[in-house]
Structure formats: structure tokens, C-alpha cells
Amino acid sequence: MAGAKPAGSPAREADGAAASAVKSAQAEGRLADARERYAELVGRHQRRASRIAFHYLRDAAEADEAVQDGFVKAYSHLQTFREEFPFEVWFTRILINGCLDRIKARTRRERWITSMPDGPGGERDFAERTAGHGPSPEDQLLAKERGRRVATALAKLPDRQRTVFMLSHYEGCSSREVGAITGLNESTVRVHLFRAIRKLRVLLNEANL
């Protein structure tokens, strides 16, 4: 599980130290110092945060905004962060709540406004992507199509199942970490994960994937 960091890992300890330093700098009014130390935390977590936000929102620009909002919010509420919990867990919770709020707002908007059809990342993202030295174009196309269908199926899952699936499977969080982020106990996390997979299989079989 690539994204998960075991408890007490150096990265987690570094996060804790940085968060404490930012808090004390904020309290003493050394705001430039606080921002500088906070930039370390942003640098360590923004890739993962962007990925999570993108899997939720399926729009790169909106994911960018959600990540920015999440970091700004975390910074302004850092005094409420308790060091005994990993910063990653605390921040992911803020980020996911922000993403869910955005999805709700988008659903409300779409009720009134017909959206333009575009790809998973939107037209602007397609233009931004560059060809790399990866799989063949056919494979990339197939993977994209598969990804689009999986994303469509994921969007049909209930919020909790989707969150558990994305954190467990995409981000490699353990049941315990997912439980800490979502507020569920470990066995409930596993039940949600199982249900999410079962439902995904059904939805994707219907879509012939």
C-alpha cells in the first residue's frame, strides 16, 4: 500500500514537528516563519491531496481549488490540530469534506444549468497533458476509457463507500487510517469497502467492462 505511512514513521514525525512549529510561530506572531514551515507540509502532501480531490471531483481545475482551499483552511485552523493524530489524517478529512461540499454545490448547479460534455479532466486538461514515454497510445486510450467508466461507476456509489474505496484502494490507506479519517470503526470500513467493490463490479459488468 503505497500511500500509507506506518505510525511513527519518519515522514509522520516530520509532519508532527512541522505542524507544531507552525502552531508556535502563529501563536508568537512570526507569520512569515509559520508560512515557511507550512510550505514544507504542503509540499509533502499536495500530490496525494490533488489525487484525492481529482478522484472525487473529476475536474483538474476544481481539484486544484479544492486542494488550495483545504490547505488554507488547515492553516487557519491549525490551532485545533492535536499532534497525537497524524497531520495527514486530519488534513484529509478537511479535504474530503471540502470535496463533498463542492459535489453538492455542483449537483445543485447542474439542476439548473446544462453542463457541456467533456472528458474526465475537461478540455483544458486534455490540452495540458503531454505525451510521455509510457504505454502505447492504444493502451493509453483503453486505460482512459476504463478509467472514465470506473469513475462514472464510482460516482454512483454512496459517499461513504466511495470515500472508503478511494482511500483504501487508490491511496493505500489501512482500514485503521480510513477509520480515523471517516470516523468509522475498522470493521465498518471493511464492510463499506466490500460493498463498494461488489457494487462497482455490478455497475461495470452492466457497462461491459
Partner 1 sequence: MKPIFSRLAGGHLDDATLAAIWTSTPAAGATLPAGAADPHLASCGECRVRYDAFASWMEEIRADARMEAAEIFTPERLAAQQAVISRRLEAAERPARVIAFPKFPAGGSGRTAPVRRWIAAAAAAGLLVGVGLGSIMDLRHVAERRGFPATRTVQQPRVDATARAVVPASAVVSEELLLLELEAAATPQYEALRAYETLTPRAADFLQSSR
148-167 core/surface letters (b: 16 or more CB in 10 A; e: else): eebeebbeebeebbbbbbbb
Torsion, CA 69, CA 67, CA 160, CA 19, rounded to 10: -80
67 contributes a contact to partner 1 by CB under 8 A: yes
How far is C-alpha 122 from the geometric centre of its chain's CA atoms? 18
Residue choice 86, 174, 180, 181 for contact with partner 1 (CB under 8 A): 174
CB 75 within 8 Å of CB 23: no
176: cell is 485503521
Residue span 7-36 as binding mask against partner 1, x where in contact by CB under 8 A, dash where not: ------------------------x---x-
Which residues, numbered 31-50, are part of the site for partner 1 (CB under 8 A)? 31, 35, 38-39, 42-43, 46-47, 50
Q: Is 128 in the site for partner 1 (CB under 8 A)?
A: yes
Q: Which residues contact 81 (CB under 8 A, 6 or more apart)?
A: 19, 23, 74, 87, 90
Name the residues that contact partner 1, by CB under 8 A. 1, 4, 31, 35, 38-39, 42-43, 46-47, 50-51, 54-55, 60, 64, 67-68, 71-72, 75-76, 120-121, 125, 128-129, 132, 134, 143-144, 146-147, 150, 168-170, 172, 174-175, 187, 190-191, 193-194, 197-198, 201
